[in-house]
Amino acid sequence: MMTRRDALALAMGFGAAGLVTAESRPARAADDLASVTLRVATFRGQDATLLPAAGQDKTPYAVQYAFFNNGSLITQAINAGAIDLGGWSEIPLVFAAAAKADIRVVAVLQGDTANQAVMVPKDSTARTVADLKGKRVGYVRATTAHFFLLKMLHQHGLGWNDIQPVNLGVSEGLTAMQSGAVDAWATYGYAIQMLQARSGARVLENAVGILSGNYLIGVKPKLLEDAAARRAIADYIGRLDLSYRTLQRDPRRMARILSPVIQVPEPFIYDVWSHMSQPWRVLPVTPAAIASAQDVTDTFAAAKLIPAQVDVAPWFSDILTPLLTRA
């Protein structure tokens, strides 16, 4: 897993190893894919697992994977030139754009939003989010959970000051919920199934209709000036799309593939992949995708989590859309 220090060390390491990047060599012809090496940031159980499982890993260019544990570190690694390509939720873009990071979003991986929710203990008297007024509510700061909790509170006539927010990591949140240290928890992923199985916790409200499900695929802008790199990136994103489209048709197979990699029981994974709010698919950059990211940014600005309003549109590029359509 990649820490901030690791990301910077990775940047230094790639430079020391003398790997050829878009910044360090002349522009190549569009068909010179064999000379391209894509340094791809991913999470355990995603690209490096899904592409081989779907038969999409035989690329005409080289791929080197680096594993991270959060999207903010991926944006930092791309900005530092340590990574060429990676994906993250809409949240890290808020802070990357505010910091004027050197990244560009070139595609959107859209997926499930039912796997993000506010959980309460099985014996909780809360029936709606409005019932959380004055309660201790855990959340994971600067994540989709932070965002959808802000939105849910607003929809129920509450603000951040109407609850007792408690910033908790995922493992801390699991412990806090099971011990009764918090009255509710805004979380995501397989933590929901774990809580349901271990303590009978229930979903108070999920993020369907609040979250877009958009995960942003970004690159180092300099790379987009190289024709061969553009083709390789578009081809890679197309393979990622095909991998999701193929594997999600069989949730049991997906569970068998992912379980040993991410160390989550197969039934939990099966439950997530068989009850999705929408399928996973790659989409080009669109005005709707930019508007969704802007809404996230405006929400965080209103909560004073960033110093001022930020226009995120300049951090998006549709330069790969024609190639993605063909891919």
Q: In sequence order, what DSSP letters do the residues of 214-264 get, joined into one string?
A: EEEEEE-GGGGG-HHHHHHHHHHHHHHHHHHHHHTT-HHHHHHHHHHHHT-
Q: Where are the domains positioned within the chain?
A: 4-112+213-326, 116-206
Q: How many alpha carbons lie under 13 Å from residue 89 in its C-beta half-sphere?
A: 20
- Residue 28 is predicted with a pLDDT of 66
CA distance 99 to 94: 9
Q: Is the pLDDT of residue 22 over 90?
A: no
Q: Considering the domain delimited by 4-112+213-326, tell me its CATH architecture.
A: 3-Layer(aba) Sandwich (3.40)
The predicted pLDDT at position 39 comes to 98
Q: Residue 109's CB: how many other CB atoms inside 10 A?
A: 21
Name the band, by pLDDT with cuts 50, 70 and 90, for residue 42: very high
Tell me the mean pLDDT in the region 66-95. Answer: 97
In this prediction, residues 36-56 reach a mean pLDDT of: 98
pLDDT given at position 308: 85
Does the pLDDT of residue 1 top 60, yes or no? no
Residues 6+ apart with CB under 8 A from 73: 2, 3, 4, 7
The first and second tokens of residue 88, run together, are 């993250």
pLDDT band at residue 215 under the 50/70/90 scheme? very high
Q: Is residue 151 pLDDT above 60, yes or no?
A: yes
pLDDT digits (tens, 9 = 90+) for 248-294: 999 999 999 999 999 999 999 999 999 999 999 999 999 999 999 99
Average pLDDT over residues 109-125: 97
3-state SS, residue 5: helix
pLDDT of 326 reads 72
Q: Is 283 exposed, middle or buried (CB count within 10 Å of its CB: 0-12, 13-18, 19+)?
A: middle
* Interatomic CA distance for residues 115 and 113, integer angstroms: 5
- With bands split at pLDDT 50, 70 and 90, how would you rate the model's confidence at 173? very high
Using the predicted structure, report yes or no on whether residue 8 has a pLDDT greater than 80.
Answer: no
For residue 66, pLDDT over 60 is answered with yes
Model confidence at 82: pLDDT above 80: yes
Binned at pLDDT 50, 70 and 90, residue 309 comes out as confident
Query: Which of helix, strand or coil describes residue 22?
Result: helix
The region of weakest confidence among 11-25, 94-108, 114-128, 166-180 is 11-25
Residue 21 has pLDDT above 60, yes or no: no
4-112+213-326 with 116-206: one CATH topology? yes
pLDDT attached to residue 104: 98
Average pLDDT value for the chain: 91
CATH value of 116-206 in 3.40.190.10, 3.40.50.300, 1.10.287.90, 3.30.1330.180: 3.40.190.10
User: Is residue 10 scored above 80 in pLDDT?
Assistant: no
